[in-house]
């Protein structure tokens, strides 16, 4: 009879029979395992205060997670995982990105185990996991209040159907990330196909400053700007001037339908990791913002076949990446 892993139930049975004074051989016979299994279990998992089946299970689970695997003996692989976690990559992104590079499979479940074991030792890797936050009802109501302040507003129902397919670059979504009651903020633009992000600081969230920032961001890339779909905030009242400057058509979402700008909404959530609610964007430097934007644009995305937004947008815009018109998931 060979060794096999004990179950939680068997550990409770060992605890009960050991407490009754049964010998290890007797316990093994009743459980149908080899006596060495019982001996090893008590030797490895009993403490000075006795044998606790729940603690024994926890110790066993920990050893199984940390058992020998190729990745455990490759400090370079572990270091690479940790480095990317600190860059706020998700475990799934790391797993899919590293496998073809290192030749060693690193599952996202293993990465999560690494994170929680690190936390148990007092580490901070868990702080780099994403923690999506709900969009507040107050903010949604404030956004819909701008409907009457947007001249010549064209609804999303009139937007060409091709925009929905995400088969070509050139279709952007726009929104703002604000501090309090528009004391300061960011204007953000995300290209729908690639997820490529552009962002600029707004020392005050006004229509004039938002319009100027959008033109400044989009004009150098106007060859890849066909449509812009925006939120209903009054700060986008200057949309016609933006459209004229970059030769694009502008559209607005339905009220309370932020999902119609899903790419932008998700990216704003990622930005909040770096600029939490209450951040005074007047105190944020342009260099700090550029660093965060670059980090997000160079992070691989599952829906892009683990390419990066920068690779897809700049590659297709320049013609170096011949994937335009095709689905990007491998």
pLDDT digits (tens, 9 = 90+) for 62-77: 666 655 455 454 677 8
Model pTM score: 0.59
pLDDT tens for the chain, 330 residues: list them: 445 678 888 888 898 888 888 898 998 888 888 888 888 888 888 877 788 888 888 777 766 665 545 545 467 788 888 888 888 888 888 887 776 555 556 777 778 878 887 887 788 888 888 654 444 444 444 444 455 578 999 998 899 988 988 899 999 999 999 888 788 999 999 999 999 999 999 999 999 999 999 999 999 999 999 999 998 889 999 999 999 999 999 999 877 666 667 787 888 888 988 998 889 999 999 999 999 999 999 999 888 988 999 999 999 998 888 888 788 765
Strand 227-230: give its sheet, edge to edge. Answer: 197-202, 184-191, 171-179, 227-230, 249-252
CA distance 93 to 234: 37
Q: What is the pLDDT of residues 232-263, one digit of tens each?
A: 889 999 999 999 999 999 999 877 666 667 78
Non-local CB neighbours of 157 within 8 Å, separated by 6+ positions: 254
Task: Write down the pLDDT at residue 103.
Answer: 56
DSSP string, 69-121: -GGGG-HHHHHHHHHHHHTT--HHHHHHHHHHHHSS---HHHHHHHHHHHHHT
**Strands 227-230, 197-202: pairing kind:** unpaired
CB atoms within 10 A of CB 223: 11
Tokens (6 digits) for 167 = 């088969």
Task: Write down the pLDDT at residue 101.
Answer: 56
CA 323 distance to own-chain centroid: 24
């Amino acid at each position: 009879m060979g060794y096999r892993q004990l179950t939680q139930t068997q550990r409770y049975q060992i605890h009960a029979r050991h407490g009754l004074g049964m010998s290890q051989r007797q316990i093994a016979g009743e459980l149908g395992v080899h006596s060495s299994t019982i001996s090893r279990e008590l030797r490895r998992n009993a403490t000075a205060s006795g044998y606790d089946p729940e603690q024994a299970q926890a110790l066993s689970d920990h050893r199984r997670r940390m058992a020998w695997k190729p990745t455990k003996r490759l400090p370079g692989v572990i270091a690479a995982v940790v480095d990317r976690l600190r860059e706020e990559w998700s475990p799934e992104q790391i797993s899919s990105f590293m496998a073809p590079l290192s030749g060693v499979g690193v599952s996202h479940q293993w990465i999560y185990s690494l994170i929680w074991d690190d936390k148990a030792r007092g580490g901070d890797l868990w702080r780099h996991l994403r923690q999506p936050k709900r969009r507040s009802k107050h903010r949604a109501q404030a956004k819909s209040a701008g409907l009457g302040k947007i001249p010549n507003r064209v609804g999303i129902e009139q937007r060409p159907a091709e925009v929905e397919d995400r088969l070509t670059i050139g279709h952007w979504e726009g929104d703002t990330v604000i501090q309090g009651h528009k004391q300061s903020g960011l204007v953000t633009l995300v290209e729908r196909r690639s997820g490529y992000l552009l962002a600029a600081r707004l020392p005050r969230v006004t229509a004039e400053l938002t319009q100027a920032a959008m033109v400044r961001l989009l004009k150098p890339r106007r060859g890849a700007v066909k449509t812009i779909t925006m939120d209903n905030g009054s700060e986008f009242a200057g949309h016609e001037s933006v459209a004229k400057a970059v030769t694009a058509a502008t559209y607005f979402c339905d009220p309370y339908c932020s999902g119609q700008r899903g790419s932008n909404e998700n990216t704003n959530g990622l930005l909040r990791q770096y600029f939490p609610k209450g951040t005074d964007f007047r105190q944020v430097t342009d260099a700090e913002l550029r660093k965060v934007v670059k980090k997000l644009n160079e992070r691989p995305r599952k829906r892009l076949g683990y390419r990066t937004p920068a690779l897809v947008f700049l590659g297709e815009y320049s013609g170096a990446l011949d994937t335009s018109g095709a689905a990007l998931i491998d």
